[in-house]
């Protein structure tokens, strides 16, 4: 009688037992696997279990020593690749982990945990598109409920309306289905409905506090909704559970940069780069943090590392150009030209390269070709972010109709008593960063950054007035909603602003600066909610200001700047609206003419400080010694003394600025005064 099958049966039982132990007692699972290997020799599954047990116990190096040879010997075994990827990630070898995980999901796509771990790695290296696709795959393959499978598949294949319909139908029947709620939140996030996503994820975590994937999504949505303090709470909760998770650490670095905490963010990026040294996007993020914190040489090195890793990485070239004080070498100029000749170059890389090459050629005094590259970069960018000048003009007209002398007179006692904020408004590239640097050199004033809180408040009011059109550009003008609020509600708006901006204040200074330039469109809201705040209008010659904006690739929010006619019309609308507020709120806004500040700096600084109610301090004239972080395109320029050379630099391009001059019209001739047409309609005041 043969007993040959008995050892096989015993082996299978032993392996199954070790596998079950892995989740609850990895040390005992490792002992079981070791015993199996002693009895039967080099057995693949036993080796896998032994390696996995080391990973679970925090012995990542020992795990990789076992799993790397196993994965090489079993190249078609998805689980061996997955466990190797897991161990490599825990060992801080991120690039190798990504490669192993890619192999795992290629061999066996229905490995939901592999997709999730891969997504975390991709998020850590700023591969947002790859991470989103991996998260979607995780959702699809982790869904076992046949009722949800169709919705998960639709989400994975980016058929968003279909996914939303299926999920809403399902949740009507099963309203507490946590995976379905998380999937619907993902749908909302993809549609830009961050507030809906936020509420859905809150519900998710209320039902399942240990649902870590939902908590990570929640932190990301909070960050996108400009709630950094709340996002950090969620990230810290996740990091307590998994301190080495690369995605959590990257998101924390991103949020810390948002709050102005650059030193810990730089440390986080450096640690991440030790694990993922071959990824240009994370080198770029590292460079941005270094630049903002004032480490220009290190930032240049980081940007150049990005280019070394990816010679067609347009944003890295533009980041060098955007330092403004950096000059490209002849070899770098030639490299940019060669990259632009590539037929396979992505549009985003292309327009960044066009802007960067325009700057390089401008520095070389080749103005004609420089302008052509600026023109092409702007055209490519505008195609991505369309802009309607008529909509801006309509909003200006509506503001003038709502915000009259009578309107403010009837609400003279409205708003918060907080005197803390100093708003600097105007157009980008008008000198607002210089004014911020001067004021923040005063002992009583802290510079923060371009804070989005006022714009967020305007959006909230618009949604409040048109909840059924919350995502539409044609929703009820928020000014009309503001006009319906009573004194208590308006005071709460001001107090909400003060509370929301507290996270950006680090020094304890009594006053702080919010230099979001686009806030000029919201002066009615600012004055009503924060009547004791100061408002400073930074104004620069229209051709100098507008063409400087045309040369600038803005990451977001300045879609008017990619066409000369749009720029001229936007500048006119700005002047018209500011003239209106000068009429209905005389003396409320302090205007600084950039050219006057350059010509007679001390007198203008004294005027500025007088307006703010601050005593003169000599260090305000030595603003270039201020080492505070500066996030804008002028970050390196304001670290140097004022110089006149840039004032008339636009004249090198004068021959090509006809469309801009035509669009500016009487505003151009009247500068620095205001033409009659922009003085406001007396019938409205």
User: Angle, to 10 degrees, between the axis of helix 487-500 and the axis of helix 453-465?
Assistant: 140
Predicted confidence band of residue 513 (pLDDT cuts 50, 70, 90)? very high
More confident call, 53 vs 464: 53
SS3 content of the chain, % helix, strand, coil (to 5): 70, 5, 25
| Mean pLDDT confidence for 472-484 | 76
Q: Counting beta carbons within 10 angstroms of the beta carbon of residue 150, is it exposed (0 to 12), middle (13 to 18) or buried (19 or more)?
A: middle
Q: What is the chain's mean pLDDT, rounded? A: 89
Measured at the CA of 233, the angle between CA 228 and CA 236, to 5 degrees, comes to 115
pLDDT at 674: 83
User: What confidence category does residue 237 fall into, taking pLDDT thresholds of 50, 70 and 90?
Assistant: very high
**Chain segment 252-308, per-residue pLDDT in tens:** 999 999 888 999 999 999 999 999 999 999 999 999 999 988 899 999 999 999 999
Burial category of 176 from C-beta neighbours within 10 Å (exposed 0-12, middle 13-18, buried 19 and up): exposed
Which residues, at least 6 apart from 10, have a Cβ–Cβ distance to it below 8 Å?
none
Instruction: Determine the average pLDDT of the residues in 640-652.
Output: 73
pLDDT reading at 8 higher than 70: no
599-605 CB contacts, 8 Å cutoff, 24+ apart: 599/644, 601/642, 605/438
In this prediction, residue 640 carries a pLDDT of 57
| pLDDT in the model for residue 324 | 86
Contacts of residue 411, defined as CB under 8 A and 6 or more positions apart, other chains included, come to 487, 490, 528
Q: Which whole number is the average pLDDT over 29-54?
A: 90
DSSP conformational letter for 516? -
56-89 pLDDT, tens per residue? 999 999 999 999 999 999 999 999 999 999 999 9
Domain residues of the chain, as ranges?
A: 389-684
Question: What does the pLDDT look like over 657-680, one tens digit per residue?
Answer: 999 999 999 999 999 888 875 444
Stretch 218-222: mean pLDDT, rounded? 94
CA distance 669 to 108: 68
* Residues above pLDDT 70, as percent of the chain: 93
Q: Determine the 3-state secondary structure of 449 from DSSP.
A: strand
State residue 106's pLDDT score: 95
pLDDT tens for residues 500-509? 999 888 888 9
DSSP per residue, 1-26: ---THHHHHHHHHHHHHHHHHHHH-H
CATH 2.60.120.680 for domain 389-684: no
Q: What is the pLDDT of residue 635?
A: 45
Q: Give the integer Cα–Cα distance in Å for 482 and 13.
A: 71
Summarize the confidence of residues 224-248 as an average pLDDT: 93
Per-residue pLDDT, averaged over 202-206, amounts to 93
Q: 682 pLDDT exceeds 70? A: no
315 by DSSP, 3-state: which?
helix
187 phi/psi in degrees, rounded to 5 = -60, -50
Q: Average of pLDDT values for 376-385?
A: 95
Span 152-156, mean pLDDT?
A: 85
């Amino acid at each position: 009688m043969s007993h040959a099958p008995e050892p096989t049966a015993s082996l299978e039982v032993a392996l199954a037992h070790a596998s079950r132990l892995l989740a609850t007692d990895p040390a005992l699972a490792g002992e079981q696997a070791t015993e199996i290997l002693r009895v039967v020799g080099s057995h693949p599954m036993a080796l896998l279990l032994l390696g996995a047990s080391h990973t679970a116990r925090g012995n990542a190096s020992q795990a990789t020593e076992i799993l790397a040879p196993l994965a090489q010997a079993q190249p078609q075994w998805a689980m061996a690749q997955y466990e190797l990827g897991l161990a490599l990630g825990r060992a801080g070898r991120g690039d190798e982990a990504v490669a192993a995980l890619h192999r795992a999901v290629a061999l066996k796509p229905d490995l939901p945990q592999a997709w999730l771990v891969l997504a975390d790695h991709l998020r850590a290296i700023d591969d947002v598109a790859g991470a989103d696709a991996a998260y979607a795959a995780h959702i699809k393959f982790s869904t076992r409920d046949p009722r949800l499978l169709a919705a998960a598949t639709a989400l994975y294949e980016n058929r968003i309306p279909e996914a939303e319909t299926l999920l809403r139908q399902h949740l009507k029947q099963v309203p507490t289905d946590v995976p379905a709620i998380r999937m619907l939140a993902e749908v909302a996030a993809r549609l830009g409905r961050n507030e809906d996503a936020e509420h859905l994820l809150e519900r998710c975590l209320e039902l399942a506090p240990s649902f870590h994937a939902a908590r990570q999504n929640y932190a990301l949505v909070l960050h996108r909704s400009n709630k950094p303090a709340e996002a950090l709470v969620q990230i810290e909760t996740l990091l307590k559970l998994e301190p080495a998770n690369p995605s959590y650490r990257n998101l924390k670095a991103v949020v810390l940069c948002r709050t102005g905490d650059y030193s810990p963010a730089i440390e986080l990026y450096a640690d991440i780069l030790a694990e993922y040294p071959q990824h240009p996007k994370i080198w770029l993020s590292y460079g941005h943090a270094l630049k903002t914190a004032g480490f220009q040489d290190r930032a240049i090195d980081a940007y150049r590392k990005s280019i070394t890793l990816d010679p067609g990485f347009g944003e890295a070239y533009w980041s060098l150009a955007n330092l403004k004080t950096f000059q490209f070498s002849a070899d770098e100029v030639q490299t940019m030209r060669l990259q632009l000749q590539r037929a396979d170059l992505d549009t985003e890389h292309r327009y960044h390269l066009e802007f960067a090459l325009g700057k390089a050629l401008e520095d070389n005094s080749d103005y004609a070709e420089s302008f052509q590259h600026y023109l092409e970069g702007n055209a490519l960018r505008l195609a991505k972010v369309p802009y309607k000048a008529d909509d801006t003009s309509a909003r200006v007209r509506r503001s003038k109709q709502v915000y009259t002398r009578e309107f403010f007179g009837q609400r003279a006692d409205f708003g918060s008593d907080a005197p803390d904020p100093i708003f600097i408004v105007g157009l980008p590239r008008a000198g607002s960063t210089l004014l911020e640097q001067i004021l923040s050199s005063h002992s009583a004033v802290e510079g923060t950054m371009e804070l989005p809180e006022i714009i967020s408040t305007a959006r909230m009011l618009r949604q409040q007035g048109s909840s059924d059109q919350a995502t539409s550009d044609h929703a009820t003008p928020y000014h009309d909603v503001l006009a319906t609020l009573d004194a208590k509600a308006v005071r709460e708006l001001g107090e909400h602003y003060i509370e929301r901006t507290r996270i950006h204040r680090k020094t304890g200074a009594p006053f702080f600066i919010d230099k979001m330039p686009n806030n000029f469109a919201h002066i009615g809201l600012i004055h009503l909610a924060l009547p004791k705040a100061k408002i400073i209008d930074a104004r620069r010659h229209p051709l100098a200001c507008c063409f400087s904006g045309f040369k600038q690739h803005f990451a977001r929010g300045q879609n008017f700047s990619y066409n000369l006619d749009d720029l001229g019309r936007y500048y006119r609308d700005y002047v018209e609206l500011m003239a209106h507020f000068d009429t209905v709120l005389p003396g409320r806004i302090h205007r600084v003419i950039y050219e006057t500040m350059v010509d007679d700096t001390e007198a203008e600084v004294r005027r500025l400080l007088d307006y703010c109610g601050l005593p003169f301090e000599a260090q305000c004239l030595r603003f270039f010694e201020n080492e505070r972080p500066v996030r804008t395109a002028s970050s390196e320029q304001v670290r140097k003394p004022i110089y006149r050379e840039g004032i008339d630099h636009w004249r090198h391009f004068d021959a090509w600025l006809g469309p801009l001059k035509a669009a500016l019209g009487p505003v151009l001739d009247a500068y620095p005064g205001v033409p009659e047409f922009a003085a406001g309609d007396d019938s409205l005041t």
